[in-house]
Amino acid sequence: MCGIIGVVGKNPVNQLLYDGLLVLQHRGQDAAGIVTCDGNTFFMHKNNGLVQDVFRTRHMRSLIGNAGIAHVRYPTAGSSSAAEAQPFYVNSPFGIVLGHNGNLTNSAQLKQEMFRQDLRHINTNSDSEVLLNVLAHEIETSSHNAVLNTDMIFEAVAGVHKRCRGAYAVVAMIANFGLLAFRDPYGIRPLVIGKNESEQGTEYIVASESVALDVLGFTLVRDVAPGEAIFIDLDGNFFSRQCAESPQLSPCIFEYVYLARPDSVIDNVSVYQTRLHMGESLADKIAREWKHLKIDVVIPIPDTSRPSALELANKLNLTYREGFIKNRYIGRTFIMPGQALRKKSVRQKLNPIGMEFKDKNVLLVDDSIVRGTTSRQIVQMARDAGASKVFFASAAPPVRYPNVYGIDMPSRSELLATGRTDEEICAEIGADALIYQDLDALITAVQKSNPDIKVFDCSCFDGKYITGDIDEAYLACAESVRGDGAAQKRPANSITQLDLNLVGTEEEELV
């Protein structure tokens, strides 16, 4: 899960990109980077850390130009070193920088092809650098060393679609030419287009979520279609083309469960409305199958589950209360590297309000249960606060399979639901009852906002991978390199800047 943004404006865009990254910070807290473009020159700064920690005033002043891209990352493939912060850069052909949200499932094969066939060097373990070099090679092939035009760019993206597998939403800048954005043929990861009409002309933006457009004053135009590429030149002219042979919208349903902000609209679906529907269907299941439970109060586990918990309580005519206070200066525990750090951070992140629990039968509502570490500690917090009974409801089905498309669910051995029945999971987290959302109900909850979406990637729930190229061998290999601690064991690669037109470094000390 990462956040990407690209802007072609009529004035300097460094502040727009910075503000956009702040809004998308929930999509990645490991690293941040901005590249701006002024004619033939790129200006870059990136490093590990939160947006507000990576960028200082002196960095912002050096990010010159009316166009640029930006990225926030949390690591799924590759390591967590500063060398793998994005955007990535290549100087040939033309000079290209790229930011990527998703995960390539054939990255190892492509890396070998880059080295042996395309004669390109990949300097890090990041699949995003592989994707950048595939794009660069395809642009080089389509342009035939001639003057670049939009037809050549769209032909290159078509070549990327033919070679790359997995999930990828991409923003890229081509020096002295413009902004390119495209989405994989399944549209697994989100990407939206916005524009702003000013006295100087039309400005365009692309971003992972529509909330970035809202905050920056842009109007949502539409989503980038699966397989589609859009190009905006530096004069603000907009071009688009379908570049995939058989595109099919199959978005990741976990975006609506957890990843996206509730005030975003993705693929014409309100995330907030979807979460209300999730609460409604969960209430129906409780009324149908768990009506014997004596529930005194419904309490959400902040923040993602609030809409679902509220709608559930309303439909069942139960009292809704805020029972946990969240420390907003602690990061999202789901995306923290390392199980030990996750365990420590839960207690720092949430603190119960005793009066809401004491002598009550409490129904806790969370968006999902992944590893179970957080759920177990929260149930114990409720008991320590005096709850008579603790029931637990998940607005999503059991997470039994790893996600290979850019979410940190790497190992089946780390997923609480894998190989366990609901009763065993309930005992593991220490609850008196456990209610899961049904997958059909979750799908219906999203489709209520957009019935045109017929297929979703639900692989973390049902083990069916939408790209059709994932087998047991792939999962075993992915788990061996992406489990807790694996990233820390890999050496961080050094990085070398090869072009004097690239200004700034990602290794610069923050002062």
Judge residue 174's burial from the number of C-beta atoms within 10 Å of its C-beta, 0-12 exposed, 13-18 middle, 19 or more buried: buried
Q: What is the pLDDT of residue 479?
A: 80
C-alpha 156/C-alpha 174 separation (Å) is: 13
pLDDT tens, residue by residue, 178-198: 999 999 999 999 999 999 998
18 vs 79, residue with greater confidence: 18
369 vs 495, residue with greater confidence: 369
Q: Per the structure block, which two tokens stand in for 354?
A: 């005793």
pLDDT tens, residue by residue, 471-492: 999 998 888 765 554 444 433 3
Q: For residue 263, what are the contacts with CB-CB under 8 A and spacing of at least 6?
A: 211, 214, 271, 272
pLDDT of 497 higher than 50: no
pLDDT of 499 higher than 60: no
pLDDT of 402 higher than 70: yes
Is residue 180 a contact partner of residue 153, using CB atoms and an 8 Å limit?
yes
pLDDT band for position 123 (cuts 50, 70, 90): confident
pLDDT tens, residue by residue, 203-225: 999 999 999 999 999 999 999 99
Query: In this structure, how many other beta carbons lie within 10 angstroms of the beta carbon of residue 199?
Result: 5
Q: Per the structure block, which two tokens stand in for 182?
A: 């495209």
153 vs 489, residue with greater confidence: 153
Is 263 flagged in the annotation as binding? no
pLDDT band for position 494 (cuts 50, 70, 90): very low
C-alpha 502/C-alpha 43 separation (Å) is: 6
CATH class of 3-248: alpha beta
Is residue 397 a contact partner of residue 439, using CB atoms and an 8 Å limit?
yes
Task: Identify the DSSP state of 258.
Answer: I
Q: What is the pLDDT of residue 48?
A: 95
End-to-end CA distance of the chain: 28
Of the residues 2, 37, 252, 458, only one is catalytic, namely 2
Give the neighbor-by-neighbor strand order of the sheet with 88-90. 88-90, 96-104, 166-174, 178-183, 228-233, 238-242
Is the pTM here over 0.85, yes or no? Answer: yes
Residue-by-residue DSSP string for 214-240? HHHTPEEEEEPPTTEEEEEETT--EEE
pLDDT tens, residue by residue, 255-314: 999 999 999 999 999 999 999 999 999 999 999 999 999 999 999 999 899 999 999 999
Q: Catalytic residue at 164?
A: no
Share of the chain above pLDDT 70, in %: 89
pLDDT band for position 76 (cuts 50, 70, 90): low
pLDDT tens, residue by residue, 128-143: 999 999 999 999 999 9
Fold of 270-327+345-454: Rossmann fold (3.40.50)
Average pLDDT, the chain: 90
Q: What is the pLDDT of residue 500?
A: 29
Locate all alpha helices (DSSP H) within 246-400, ordered by sequence: 254, 271-289, 306-316, 339-349, 373-384
The domain ranges of the chain are 3-248, 270-327+345-454
pLDDT of 501 higher than 50: no
Give the neighbor-by-neighbor strand order of the sheet with 297-300. 319-320, 297-300, 361-366, 389-394, 433-436
Q: Tokens 């029945």 identify what position?
A: 421
pLDDT tens, residue by residue, 344-388: 567 788 999 999 999 999 999 999 999 898 999 999 999 999 999
Is 304 flagged in the annotation as binding? yes
In the chain, the amino acid numbered 106 is N
As separate numbers, helices (DSSP H) first and strands (DSSP E) second, the chain gives 17, 23
C-alpha 244/C-alpha 356 separation (Å) is: 54
pLDDT of 93 higher than 60: yes
